[in-house]
Structure 1
Amino acid sequence: MKKVRGVSEEKAVGSWGSRLDTLVENKLTLSHDSAELHFFETLQQAQRIELRFDAPVLTSMLSGRKVMHLGQTTPFDYRPGESLLMPAGRLMSIDFPDATLDDPTRCLALTIADEFIQQTVDELNEQFPRTEATDQWQLGTDDYLLQNDPEVSSLVDKLMRLFRENTPFRLFFIQNTLKELIVRLSQKQVRTGLLAQTRQSLTTHRLAYVVAYIRENLTRNLTIEELSEKACLSKSHFFRQFKNETGISPAQFILTERIRRAKAILSNPRKSITDACYESGFNSLTHFSNAFRSIERMCPRQFKRQLFGVN
């Protein structure tokens, strides 16, 4: 085994069992017909390490922190719980400000063939057309930074396991998990687009109109019947289309929007947890605290303490 200078023999093997050939971006690659999964591990501080892939890539942080430099964008911290979609050939310049032998920075990069992505998107458009005839499913890979939701996180974890499994069904399982990941990411992008462009699409997109209506009436008890009427769709058709396009049900969307508003209220030092509860549409402090914890993995008091360091 090749020893890296300054590394003891017991640390000459990386976290995934591969040989530790370098302390910066030590890599293990596992292959599939339509994708490759790369594990990266960095065990010392480094600056401006360049990296690019020849296929669209989804990277996900596993531990530690990177500072990403992408083209003309402002450098940004990249942390666990975040993923980044990028097109083929995109140059990344990466800083590793915190990496050490005892606390390495780890991430994965999943490259997926363009043809496989397009095939999956074509199937999606054929079998599950969007609400508006002018809209098409697509997966945008132009430097799209996202917070991992439970579905994306579980699929990434599943792929990490499947790529290393020794089973005759391995290729089949990987292919279907890749398809689901593409669909989930497409839904997440639609949801993000509806939130970001609601006002521009009010007169041309029924779901955008409903999203705007929900945000304007968060403190009311909104029903599926009321929302489906606003969308000029039957109750069942509205529910199906909303969940198909956004990946979550209308009730889940309302809950996440209420928590988003509560976080904004809690970010005001003059506002209390009780203010955040009732001003974001909850009618019980217990229900508010439980809902907040289910989404943010912390209670409202912990969130406020992190912001202001108060008891």
Structure 2
Amino acid sequence: MSSGRKSLSNSDALPAWGGRLDALVENKLTLSHDVAELHLYETFQRAQLVELTFDSPVLTSMLTGKKVMHIDALKPFDYLPGESLVLPANKPMKIDFPEATLQSPTRCLALTISDEFIQQTVNHLNEEYPRCEPSEVWEVNTNNYHLQNNFEISSLIDKIIRLYRENNVLKPFFIHNSLEELIVRLMQTQARRVLVDQARKYMSSHRLAFVVEYIRNNLTKALAIEELSNQACLSKSHFFRLFKNELGISPIQFILQERIRLAKQILSNPAKSITDACYESGFNSLTHFSSAFRTVERISPRQYKQQLS
């Protein structure tokens, strides 16, 4: 790893990870495992164009504060808590820390994982859980992949930090399993982005993309698994398994999420009521709608609409 300028430590700065504070810029704690290293970073002062490179594929994830990332010829972009970046080995980056202070440090992690371990995990997944289309295989996209962490990935990141720091004779085993799950979750997230965010583009060549678009066009209908599996030209059991493998959730969960997404769009219209949002997004009762909305969004439809206004 290479880094830009550093400043002397300050006795007022309190590192969250323990140990001695060496620098206000790029103060780092590294914890090792046989196939991966966890690097925990804290920055206590503003800085610009701090250089950083890792010699293995890396997942970085923001914990607190804000960075501005400069990678290749991409336009510099904000990097915020709840977001992650997947980068290939030896990818140079430059980082701005526009908000770091002694009172509010910027914190992030970098998890470097060996190429061999990643490939073993990918190969195992392709052997045991092949993708829906024969022409496609599971793979990890490390080409500057920027993502919003979902609940599963956020939970895994928190778990991996905890595992690296705990004193347990089975720690290597737990870390190994968690790293495998993280790699698989990342592949599912990447596949989901293609199938869900670009469904219309791929619906003529990918049966699950076709089903995603079919669901969106028929949200007000009662959508049964048998109907969806027929659209995909698959048996019910095969369709259910492939859908969950590739998107990380069941078809029923996806339909629920899409109905809530549509309901949020309707609620954003001041002329529309909660009752309108309920029935126009495919729910058949206000009680069910309110319960489902709260499950997905953690607030009620009424609270959501109040926040908008």
> CA–CA distance in 1 between the matches of 2:30 and 2:147?
24
Residue segments in structure 1 that go unaligned for 5+ positions in a row = none
Q: How does 1:248-287 map to 2 (within 5 A)?
A: 248-287=249-288
Closer/same/farther in 2, CA of residues 45 and 53 from structure 1, 3 Å limit: same
Q: How does 1:79-90 map to 2 (within 5 A)?
A: 79-90=80-91
Residue 203 of structure 1 is matched in structure 2 by 204
SS of 1:49's equivalent in the other structure is strand
* C-alpha contact (below 8 Å) 2:9/2:22 kept by paired residues: no
Closer/same/farther in 2, CA of residues 18 and 6 from structure 1, 3 Å limit: closer
> CA–CA distance in 2 between the matches of 1:259 and 1:199?
20
Sequence identity (%): 65
| Deviation by residue 1:92-135 (Cα, 9 ceiling, x = unmatched) | 22222222211111111111111111111001101111121111
Residue 137 of structure 1 is matched in structure 2 by 138
* C-alpha contact (below 8 Å) 1:60/1:80 kept by paired residues: yes
SS of 2:165's equivalent in the other structure is coil
* Aligned partner letter, 1:193: V
Kindly state the Cα deviation for residue 301 of structure 1 after the two structures are TM-superposed.
Answer: 4.5
Residue 111 of structure 1 is matched in structure 2 by 112
> CA–CA distance in 2 between the matches of 1:124 and 1:267?
41
SS of 1:62's equivalent in the other structure is strand
Kindly state the Cα deviation for residue 42 of structure 1 after the two structures are TM-superposed.
Answer: 1.1
TM-score of the superposed pair, with normalisation by structure 2:
0.90
> CA–CA distance in 1 between the matches of 2:47 and 2:277?
42
> CA–CA distance in 1 between the matches of 2:52 and 2:66?
16
Kindly state the Cα deviation for residue 57 of structure 1 after the two structures are TM-superposed.
Answer: 1.0
Residue 41 of structure 1 is matched in structure 2 by 42
Residue 233 of structure 2 is matched in structure 1 by 232
SS of 1:54's equivalent in the other structure is coil
TM-score of the superposed pair, with normalisation by structure 1:
0.90
Residue 173 of structure 1 is matched in structure 2 by 174
Residue segments in structure 2 that go unaligned for 5+ positions in a row = 1-6
* C-alpha contact (below 8 Å) 2:199/2:212 kept by paired residues: yes
* Aligned partner letter, 2:136: D
Closer/same/farther in 2, CA of residues 19 and 6 from structure 1, 3 Å limit: closer
SS of 2:168's equivalent in the other structure is coil
SS of 1:68's equivalent in the other structure is strand
Residue 163 of structure 1 is matched in structure 2 by 164
> CA–CA distance in 2 between the matches of 1:302 and 1:97?
33
> CA–CA distance in 2 between the matches of 1:235 and 1:129?
17
* Aligned partner letter, 2:257: T
SS of 1:155's equivalent in the other structure is helix
Residue 7 of structure 1 is matched in structure 2 by 11
SS of 1:163's equivalent in the other structure is helix
* C-alpha contact (below 8 Å) 2:10/2:24 kept by paired residues: no
* Aligned partner letter, 1:7: S
* Aligned partner letter, 1:249: S
Residue 22 of structure 2 is matched in structure 1 by 21
* Aligned partner letter, 2:229: S
| Deviation by residue 1:190-236 (Cα, 9 ceiling, x = unmatched) | 11111233233323322111111111111211111111111111111
| Deviation by residue 1:215-269 (Cα, 9 ceiling, x = unmatched) | 1111211111111111111111111111111111001111122222233334445
Q: How does 1:62-81 map to 2 (within 5 A)?
A: 62-81=63-82
* Aligned partner letter, 1:172: F
Shifted more, 174-183 versus 83-92: the winner is 83-92
* C-alpha contact (below 8 Å) 1:56/1:114 kept by paired residues: yes
Closer/same/farther in 2, CA of residues 96 and 294 from structure 1, 3 Å limit: farther
